[in-house]
Chain A
């Protein structure tokens, strides 16, 4: 087990390269700095890695890959199980519609979700080569459990209960283009499709042991 974490130390050394080369460098011993607890080191990192992926160029006959942006907000002071309902509302909507609907949701987490989607929209236009800010739809919207602060509270008759203060992470992925008609695969079928399926079933019937 090393006392130093090598990757952040390397980053720090590369940052302060000229100073580190000086004989009277005071920034060589940085273990106290590295071991200090930083909130940004404990946030989820994997979702934002999708933004950094560089795709190979497409051939002309391939369908164009739509631009997307992944964004998150960490450690929102709200229960993840309650936030899940807000995340589910927004799935499959255009960003404008999502922001409009979230303004009329009377829940505490709706404010954070709306702000996250607005930030994601701005990032998409600035950094991810999206032409029109309104041409985006919510492809993924989900919640994760964050920090939990635990405590005790006293009930009557010297009984004690456990108190948990939950935080949640909200993740959203916006994609360019028009949203699909049905977000989930398990959706009710159109009447003409239902008729076709019924006809197919009727034609598939066979009298047993017949030719």
Chain B
């Protein structure tokens, strides 16, 4: 029992010595196993370091950045350039304010809030006309009247005209001047009595 233990200890010490020696010399075969008369191959060239590239090939390092993006490139991408394309938003200095409703709009455009009201009112008028005339041909002039406008006029005023009544009061912004016809004959005299102003 003691003998085998000693043997085991000896073997362990020998192995340890071999390991230490191999760390320093790194010759193949190791010192204890060299045959006399046989050349020893010195491991002059270290085996190249193992990398995943050997297994996967170049495919592993596709589509990956190789260099850091410089601050100039980053800023060019985010801000652009003032002489070429400036990417930052600039506040608009050419906005106009509507005198009627107070909302802002771009120049060269009717105030959208006021125009929307006009569009809605036009739709109401068109629906009323369609309901009144339906599919009959339009041979006479069509006159659209709001609440309370028909009573003030004599009957002969509406001779030769078709009346369409809308059961709601006239909007404040809708003056009667706006319904002047474009096919009117030019006036022969200059003293014209103004009528139907509103």
**Which A residues lie at the B interface, using CB under 8 A?**
85-86, 88-89, 93, 97, 100-101, 103-105
CA distance A93 to B90 in the complex (A): 12
Residue in chain B with minimal CB distance to A98: B91
Q: Contact at B92–A101, with CB atoms within 8 Å?
A: yes
Does B87 lie at the interface of the complex (its beta carbon under 8 Å from any beta carbon of A)?
Answer: yes
CA distance A103 to B90 in the complex (A): 13
Q: Contact at B89–A100, with CB atoms within 8 Å?
A: no
CA distance A104 to B82 in the complex (A): 21
Residue in chain B with minimal CB distance to A103: B104
Q: Contact at A93–B88, with CB atoms within 8 Å?
A: no
Q: Contact at A85–B89, with CB atoms within 8 Å?
A: yes
**Which B residues lie at the A interface, using CB under 8 A?**
87-92, 95, 104, 106
User: How many inter-chain contacts with C-beta < 8 Å in the A-B complex?
Assistant: 22
CA distance A86 to B87 in the complex (A): 11
Q: List 22 A-B contacts (CB under 8 A).
A: A85-B87, A85-B88, A85-B89, A86-B89, A88-B88, A88-B89, A89-B88, A89-B89, A89-B90, A89-B91, A93-B91, A97-B91, A100-B95, A100-B104, A101-B91, A101-B92, A103-B104, A104-B92, A104-B95, A104-B104, A104-B106, A105-B89
Q: How far does the Cβ of A110 sit from chain B's closest Cβ, in whole Å?
A: 9
Known A-B contacts: A85-B89, A88-B88, A104-B104. Give 8 more (CB < 8 A). Answer: A89-B89, A89-B91, A93-B91, A100-B95, A100-B104, A101-B91, A101-B92, A104-B92
List of A residues within 8 angstroms of B92 by Cβ: 101, 104
List of B residues within 8 angstroms of A88 by Cβ: 88-89
CA distance A103 to B91 in the complex (A): 11
Residue in chain B with minimal CB distance to A100: B104
CA distance A76 to B30 in the complex (A): 70
List of B residues within 8 angstroms of A85 by Cβ: 87-89
Q: How far does the Cβ of B59 sit from chain A's closest Cβ, in whole Å?
A: 14
List of A residues within 8 angstroms of B95 by Cβ: 100, 104
Q: How far does the Cβ of B80 sit from chain A's closest Cβ, in whole Å?
A: 11
The 5 A-B pairs with the shortest beta carbon distances in the complex, nearest first, are A89-B89, A101-B91, A85-B89, A100-B104, A104-B92
Most-contacted residue by chain A among B87, B89, B90, B95 (CB, 10 A): B89
Residue in chain B with minimal CB distance to A101: B91
Q: How far does the Cβ of B198 sit from chain A's closest Cβ, in whole Å?
A: 34
Q: How far does the Cβ of B154 sit from chain A's closest Cβ, in whole Å?
A: 50
